[in-house]
């Protein structure tokens, strides 16, 4: 690990960070602090600091992958990318992320606002809770951050500088490149899956068209630096109350295709939908919750396209699809045509990324709690099998699926099969 870096502990944290003016002001004197390590993600340490004046979150990168251990080293500089992504997301969609109070590059520490009474969205969805405005807000977040992080909006020199800055997030991209796009489709050493899926997994891994589709998606991810992505936008990267939505954890930020974040996100709502029959709830309640989840998928996509179109019409100042090209000679309608074309491309990419995210969470290393919490392996395998089948249809049918209603209808149909 980097020279001078030392991992924090609940005991050492007040001594090491007690001198920070911002923490003294917002949390209180360090003598009053109580510190709890609450990190349940795959990579980092996360502490909640509670003092006489308030609370804060202290997030610190470890020099290795927490989920696997010291055998898998991972650079500390991911905290630098997380910090840089957070401040850009806040500028592009104010109020969408926790406020950053302090950043220490050498110690890989980001000190942030403590969101309360927020909980991780994934846990809320498993428990059958609803969040008002969720789909609208997430659609806006994707539209604003993706539009404003691209050549549609940014001055070319600033955008190129950001492209270079985030291009150095090599190791986290490498995780995505392997764990998302390749490992699910062969017997990679760290893969695991529910035993009852052996036959389905063998068939998927023997499916040449699927492997080719996965590699096309990988090429899109590695080569099409269209905009600054969150890079790991799943329901574990979102915190909610009954009425508020915030996005966290953008350490995988990199330039990539417009459709990547929104595809991953929709995949996670679809997996929440498919996992519902495995959780304890009365059948009527479950059906209501599943309807609500699919409603979120529809609203999310509609909100994304509405906000993206609004930004296109009102804020298009970058070097792409220059507004001035369309303003003379009565070509205003052509700008709408260009918008439709671009949204069509994003739609198609989104479907592919959505399908592959569903596969990698069931076949690869990093599973999600929606399915993992289903203790009965037979029930879990049945839920996962439906998600795998849908993922395959999305990846192979991306070019011919029309409209988000078709996607939710497919999810409803497959849930009954
Ligand atoms: C080894 S890291 C595994 C996964 O956790 C992160 O949240 C990303 O989703 C990554 O793919
Ligand atoms: Mg994360």
| Ligand 1 atom nearest to CA at 232 | 9
CA 67–ligand 1 middle distance (angstroms): 9
Model confidence at 1, in pLDDT bands (50, 70, 90)? low
- Residue 246 — φ and ψ, nearest 5°? -130, 150
* 249: pLDDT strictly greater than 90: yes
Cβ burial of 281 (10 Å; 0-12, 13-18, 19+) is middle
Looking at the DSSP assignment, which residues form a beta bridge with residue 228?
255
Cis ω before 298 (30° cut-off from 0): no
Predicted TM-score (pTM) of this structure: 0.97
Top CATH class, 119-416: alpha beta
CATH 3.90.1200.10 residue window(s) in the chain: 119-416
Top CATH class, 13-113: alpha beta
DSSP 20-74: -HHHHHHH--GGG-EEEE---SSSEEEEEEE-SS-EEEEEEE-SEETTTEEEEE-
Q: In b/e form, how buried is each residue of 108-135, taking b as 16+ CB within 10 angstroms?
A: bbbbbbbbeebebbbbbbbebebbeebb
Q: What's the ipTM?
A: 0.98
Cβ of 175 closer than 6 Å to ligand 1, yes or no, is yes
User: Residue 181 in contact with residue 215, Cβ under 8 Å?
Assistant: yes
- pLDDT by residue (tens digit) across 122-156? 999 999 999 999 999 999 999 999 999 999 999 99
Beta strands in 241-347 (DSSP E): 245-247, 254-256
CA 325–ligand 1 middle distance (angstroms): 42
Minimum mean pLDDT range among 84-88, 265-269, 319-323, 408-412 = 319-323
**Residue among 112, 54, 108 nearest 87 (CA):** 112
- pLDDT by residue (tens digit) across 104-129? 999 999 999 999 999 999 999 999 99
Q: How far apart are the first and last CA of the chain?
A: 50
CATH 3.30.200.20 residue window(s) in the chain: 13-113
Cβ of 85 closer than 6 Å to ligand 1, yes or no, is no
CA 161–ligand 1 middle distance (angstroms): 26
Report the length, in residues, of the chain. 417
Q: Residues 396, 368, 182, 379: is their CA dihedral positive or negative?
A: negative
């Amino acid at each position: 690990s980097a020279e001078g870096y030392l991992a924090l502990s609940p005991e050492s944290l007040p001594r090491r960070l007690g001198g920070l003016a911002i923490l003294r002001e917002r949390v209180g004197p360090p003598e009053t602090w109580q510190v709890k390590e609450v990190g349940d993600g795959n990579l980092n340490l996360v502490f909640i600091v509670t003092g006489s004046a308030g609370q804060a979150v202290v997030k610190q990168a470890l020099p290795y992958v927490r989920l696997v251990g010291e055998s898998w080293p991972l650079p500390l500089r991911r905290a630098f990318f997380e910090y840089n992504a957070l401040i850009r997301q806040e500028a592009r969609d104010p109020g969408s992320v926790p406020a950053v109070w302090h950043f220490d590059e050498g110690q890989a520490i980001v000190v942030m606002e403590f969101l309360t009474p927020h909980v991780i969205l994934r846990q809320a969805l498993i428990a059958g809770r609803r969040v008002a405005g969720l789909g609208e807000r997430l659609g806006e977040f994707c539209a604003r951050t993706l539009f404003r992080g691209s050549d549609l909006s940014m001055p070319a020199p600033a955008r190129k500088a950001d492209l270079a800055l985030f291009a150095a997030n090599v190791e986290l991209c490498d995780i995505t490149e392997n764990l998302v796009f390749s490992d699910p489709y062969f017997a990679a050493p760290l893969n695991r899956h529910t035993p009852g899926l052996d036959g389905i997994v063998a068939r998927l891994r023997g499916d040449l068209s699927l492997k080719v589709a996965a590699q096309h998606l990988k090429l899109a991810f590695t080569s099409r630096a269209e905009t600054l992505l969150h890079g790991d936008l799943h329901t574990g990267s979102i915190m909610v109350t009954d009425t508020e939505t915030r996005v966290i954890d953008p350490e995988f930020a990199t330039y990539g295709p417009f459709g990547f974040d929104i595809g991953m996100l929709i995949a996670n709502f679809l997996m929440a939908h498919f996992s519902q029959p495995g959780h304890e709830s009365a059948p009527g309640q479950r059906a209501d919750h599943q309807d609500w989840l699919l409603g979120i998928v529809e609203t999310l996509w509609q909100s994304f396209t509405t906000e993206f179109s609004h930004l296109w019409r009102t804020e298009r100042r970058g070097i792409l699809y220059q507004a001035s090209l369309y303003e003379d000679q009565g070509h205003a309608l052509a700008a709408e045509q260009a918008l439709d074309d671009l949204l069509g491309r994003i739609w198609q990419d989104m479907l592919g990324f959505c399908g592959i995210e569903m596969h990698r969470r069931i076949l690869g290393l990093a599973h999600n709690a929606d399915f993992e919490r289903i203790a009965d392996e037979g029930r879990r395998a049945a839920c996962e099998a439906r998600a795998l089948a849908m993922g395959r249809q999305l990846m192979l049918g991306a070019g011919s699926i029309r409209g988000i209603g078709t996607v939710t209808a497919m999810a409803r149909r497959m849930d009954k099969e």
